[in-house]
């Protein structure tokens, strides 16, 4: 088990919801490249053997030429700040048996809870280190500064970026990898124009991503461990039913079918939900969802005290239930 205990979190800034991240550096706390990160749809979307080899080769070349990153996106070692310095960290760790082990996501959770205590929390703060797809760019998994696709009607398409373009820099920060670009996006204000330098064939051209609104909000953030800080949960866990099991119950493919495996919320039991129920409608939603997606929906869209309608299939019959969420966050959550 690895831990974040004692790590200088001012120097090592990255998406804390990730379970793996890396940095290529020199001996003076300066960075050549960042390597890691993911799109919503796959945890290892940009962790490939080929991309690691390419990034290592690039880091060696940069090291040989002394080309550390030099821009406003580069953190310094000072002031040193450890996870233990976050005011809410002690309370977060207290209930644990292994309470001296700080996980990566604990750092983010503690910081978000601290902001809640200060009254400065907003749900959008969960969406840290937005992936390039947030601005309409799909980067290649292997050659990670190559644009593999551009989303229609996105800031990237409006900026004229095309498939096959190579991202050289964003606001002066060199882009060698997916993670290099997410670092820039992390520090890019919601309303801004982000200048890009692009190689297209033999030409180097300039473009500007015009960003506004909630572009940081990606479509499926359910993988983010810190999401539970943002709002209430449903008080139960479960699993999406596979095709064969659906057939037996007469449930269609492509629609919601979540088998309840564990209930922890008193409010959930009071609603009448039981283990082995199959949830087929939740808060008006009927599309096929995983249990993390179902929780993410509540975390981001509902408030404590809300009443959530759901339908479960039990013993071949459908039952309508109302889940009355607790009026305030339960202690310890």
Partner 1 sequence: MNRKSYYILFIASPMLLVSIFATGTEEVETKPISVTGKIHWIFGYDQGQKLARETGKPMWVVFRCER
| Sites of contact with partner 1 (CB under 8 A) | 1-8, 12, 14, 18-27, 29, 32, 53, 56-57, 59-61, 63-65, 103-105, 225
Least distance in angstroms from the C-beta of 128 to partner 1 = 15
Phi and psi dihedrals of 20, rounded to 5?
-155, 135
Angstrom distance (rounded) from CA 251 to CA 236: 21
Least distance in angstroms from the C-beta of 52 to partner 1 = 9
What is the distance of C-alpha 102 from the center of its chain? 19
Least distance in angstroms from the C-beta of 6 to partner 1 = 4
Least distance in angstroms from the C-beta of 12 to partner 1 = 7
Residue 6 or 309: which CB sits closer to partner 1?
A: 6
- In the numeric block, the tokens 């593999």 are attached to 148
Angstrom distance (rounded) from CA 333 to CA 324: 17
Contacts of 137 (CB under 8 A, 6+ apart): 147, 149, 150, 151, 154, 156, 161, 167, 181
Residue 47 or 168: which CB sits closer to partner 1?
A: 47
Residue 228 or 302: which CB sits closer to partner 1?
A: 228
Angstrom distance (rounded) from CA 186 to CA 182: 6
Residue 57 or 303: which CB sits closer to partner 1?
A: 57
Residues, the chain = 333
Residue 77 or 269: which CB sits closer to partner 1?
A: 77
> Cβ(207)–Cβ(165) under 8 Å?
no
Angstrom distance (rounded) from CA 122 to CA 180: 25
Could you count the other beta carbons within 10 Å of the beta carbon of residue 18? 19
Residue 12 or 121: which CB sits closer to partner 1?
A: 12
Least distance in angstroms from the C-beta of 29 to partner 1 = 8
Residue 33 or 310: which CB sits closer to partner 1?
A: 33
Least distance in angstroms from the C-beta of 17 to partner 1 = 10
Q: Is 189 exposed, middle or buried (0-12, 13-18, 19+ CB in 10 A)?
A: exposed
Could you count the other beta carbons within 10 Å of the beta carbon of residue 155? 22
DSSP-derived secondary structure letter, 80 = P
Least distance in angstroms from the C-beta of 135 to partner 1 = 25
Least distance in angstroms from the C-beta of 133 to partner 1 = 23
Pull the structure tokens for residue 240.
Answer: 């999406």
Residue 107 or 280: which CB sits closer to partner 1?
A: 107
Angstrom distance (rounded) from CA 312 to CA 278: 5
Pull the structure tokens for residue 210.
Answer: 């015009």
Pull the structure tokens for residue 80.
Answer: 């040193």
């Amino acid at each position: 088990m690895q831990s974040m205990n004692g790590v200088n979190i001012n120097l090592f800034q990255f998406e804390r919801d990730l379970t793996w991240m890396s940095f290529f550096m020199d001996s003076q706390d300066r960075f050549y490249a960042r390597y890691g990160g993911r799109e919503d749809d796959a945890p290892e979307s940009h962790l490939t053997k080929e991309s690691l080899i390419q990034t290592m080769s690039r880091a060696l070349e940069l090291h040989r030429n002394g080309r550390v990153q030099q821009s406003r996106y580069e953190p310094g070692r000072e002031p040193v700040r450890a996870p233990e310095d976050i005011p809410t960290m002690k309370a977060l760790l207290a209930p644990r048996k292994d309470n001296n082990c700080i996980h990566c996501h604990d750092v983010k959770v503690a910081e978000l809870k601290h902001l809640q205590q200060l009254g400065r929390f907003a749900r959008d703060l969960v969406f840290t280190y937005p992936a390039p797809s947030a601005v309409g760019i799909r980067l290649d998994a292997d050659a990670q500064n190559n644009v593999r696709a551009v989303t229609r009607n996105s800031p990237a398409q409006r900026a004229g970026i095309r498939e096959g373009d190579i991202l050289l820099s964003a606001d002066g920060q060199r882009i060698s990898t997916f993670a290099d670009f997410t670092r820039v996006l992390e520090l890019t204000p919601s309303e801004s124009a982000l200048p890009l330098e692009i190689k297209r064939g033999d030409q180097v051209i300039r473009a500007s991503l015009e960003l506004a609104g909630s572009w940081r909000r990606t479509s499926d953030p359910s993988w983010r461990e810190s999401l539970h800080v943002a709002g209430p949960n449903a008080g139960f866990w479960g699993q999406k039913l596979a095709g064969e099991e659906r057939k037996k119950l007469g449930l269609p493919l492509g629609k919601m079918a979540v088998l309840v495996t564990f209930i922890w919320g008193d409010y959930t039991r009071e609603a009448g939900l039981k283990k082995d129920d199959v949830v087929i409608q939740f808060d008006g939603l009927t599309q096929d969802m995983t249990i993390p997606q179902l929780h993410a929906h509540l975390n981001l869209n509902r408030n404590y005290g809300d009443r959530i309608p759901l339908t479960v299939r039990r013993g071949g019959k459908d039952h309508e239930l109302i889940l009355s969420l607790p009026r305030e966050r339960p202690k310890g959550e």
